[in-house]
Amino acid sequence: MKTIFIKHLPRLQRWRLVAAASALLLLVSMGSVARAETFFTLRELLGSHFQNSAHVGYARIHPDARLSADIQRRTRSAAKAEYVVYVARSGERIDGYALFDQERGQHEMIDIATFFDASGHVTDVEVVAYREAYGDGIRSSRFRHQFVGRDASSSFSAGRDVDVVAGATLSSDAMTRAVARATLVVRAALQQRASVAHR
């Protein structure tokens, strides 16, 4: 079999080959960009989950050493400098909390929203945006429903405490870690609120 090197081709053929390769590369890169899907906006999710609440505000949580260590231990990743926890209220009553966060899947970041009742138990989990080429089975209600009722004291281990989605093991693990982190951050928000109330 004869091997043809590009430098041995006539100039016009070389130009066409380079142009074709460039076009193919562009199509491949466009395909990976097009795979990024945003399913919800923050406003849509807050509006639908807290539609009966009078007001949705927020609290900023700056992890102290203990929370940072808990996050590192439970999620195998460092804590951020700040988390924004959304707080739904009706008068003096807290209706619930929400945390929008990201966790890395196999290659790309997955945007995840976790919702809580007033006591810090998970009420819902949504995939806000998904950028991987495969593994979006974590959007199924059956998978997401496994987190409902869990809180910061619950055990979170994909494959042991949480059934993973076939063909989406890494994405399943990513969501599990994101929800585990969210429970810890919301517990900190509850503790912060209790501390202020007792002053």
Token pair for 188: 């900190």
Integer Cα distance of 158 and 114 in angstroms: 17
Integer Cα distance of 144 and 185 in angstroms: 19
CA distances in angstroms from 165 to 21, 40, 159, listed in the order given: 36, 22, 9
Ranges of each domain in the chain? 1-34, 37-197
Main-chain dihedrals φ then ψ at residue 165, nearest 5 degrees: -85, 130
Q: Which has the closest alpha carbon to 169: 141, 142, 140, 134?
A: 134
Token pair for 134: 């495969």
Q: Tokens 């091997």 identify what position?
A: 3
Kindly give the confidence (pLDDT) of every residue in the chain, 199 residues in length, as a single tens digit, with 9 standing for 90 and above. 433 333 444 554 544 544 444 443 443 344 444 467 999 999 999 999 999 999 999 999 999 999 999 999 999 999 999 999 999 999 999 999 999 999 999 899 999 999 999 999 999 999 999 998 888 899 999 999 999 999 999 999 898 989 999 989 999 999 999 999 999 999 999 999 887 665 5
